[in-house]
């Protein structure tokens, strides 16, 4: 079982990198999971957060618009639950799982954490984005099984393809 993660220092870099990986792999593997796109708004402090679900490409808005002066978390937990359920339903047909973020929700054992665990139990390789704040919780969750991938699209996609080949063997 393979668990890889990316943790890039620039805000939003994990999201873009995972989207690029998914785009490359989608033609070669049966993917499931989610990649995130953030849209900055000039009339809001917080960006809009959308998840593109793999493989179908359905987009779910996972942020709530709480007004121009909103601070703090704007995550729409109901939308996240829907994204997780759709990913879980796609898992049996998948060769590879991509999860946009191991965040605060996952650190608490919710969100995509159970799907990551289920994929690993099935031997399905997983790639996750993790920001620096959540790295300690992710490492505790991964229990020494996670490999950090380099910030190189070719090397990261090669890791993903190799992980699937190992599982198939």
Summarised one tens digit per residue, pLDDT across range 95-113 is 999 999 999 999 999 999 9
What total number of domains does the chain contain? 1
At residue 50, the pLDDT reads 85
Burial of 29 (0-12, 13-18, 19+ CB in 10 A): buried
The CA distance from 86 to 66, in Å, is: 26
Per-residue pLDDT of 82-92, as tens digits, reads: 999 999 999 99
Residues of the chain with confidence (pLDDT) below 70:
1, 39-47, 63-76, 169
**Structure pTM?**
0.89
Q: Is 73 left (phi over 0), alpha (psi -120 to 50) or beta?
A: beta
Of residues 8, 11, 9, the one with CA closest to residue 21:
8
Which residues does 168 contact at the CB level (< 8 Å), separation at least 6?
Answer: 95
Tell me what pLDDT residue 40 has.
Answer: 62
Burial of 84-95, coded b for 16+ CB within 10 Å and e otherwise, reads bebbeebeeebb
CATH classification of the domain holding 135: 3.40.50.300
pLDDT of residue 109: 94
Judging by beta carbons within 10 Å of its beta carbon (0-12, 13-18, 19+), is residue 22 exposed, middle or buried? buried
What's the token pair of residue 131? 């920001």
The residue range of the domain holding 71 is 3-168
């Amino acid at each position: 079982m393979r668990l890889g993660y990316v943790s890039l220092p620039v805000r939003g870099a994990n999201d873009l990198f995972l989207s690029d990986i998914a785009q490359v792999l989608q033609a070669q593997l049966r993917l499931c999971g989610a990649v995130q796109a953030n849209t900055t708004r000039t009339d809001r402090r917080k960006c809009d957060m959308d998840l593109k679900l793999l493989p179908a490409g359905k987009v779910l808005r996972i942020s709530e618009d709480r007004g121009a002066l909103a601070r703090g978390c704007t995550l729409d937990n109901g939308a996240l639950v829907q994204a997780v359920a759709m990913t879980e339903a796609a898992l049996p047909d998948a060769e590879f799982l991509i999860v946009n973020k191991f965040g605060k929700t996952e650190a608490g054992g919710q969100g995509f954490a159970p799907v990551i665990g289920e994929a690993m139990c099935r031997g399905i390789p997983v790639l996750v984005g993790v920001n620096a704040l959540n790295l300690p919780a992710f490492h505790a969750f991964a229990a020494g099984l996670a490999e950090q991938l380099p910030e190189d699209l070719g090397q990261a996609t090669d890791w993903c393809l190799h992980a699937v080949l190992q599982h198939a063997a």
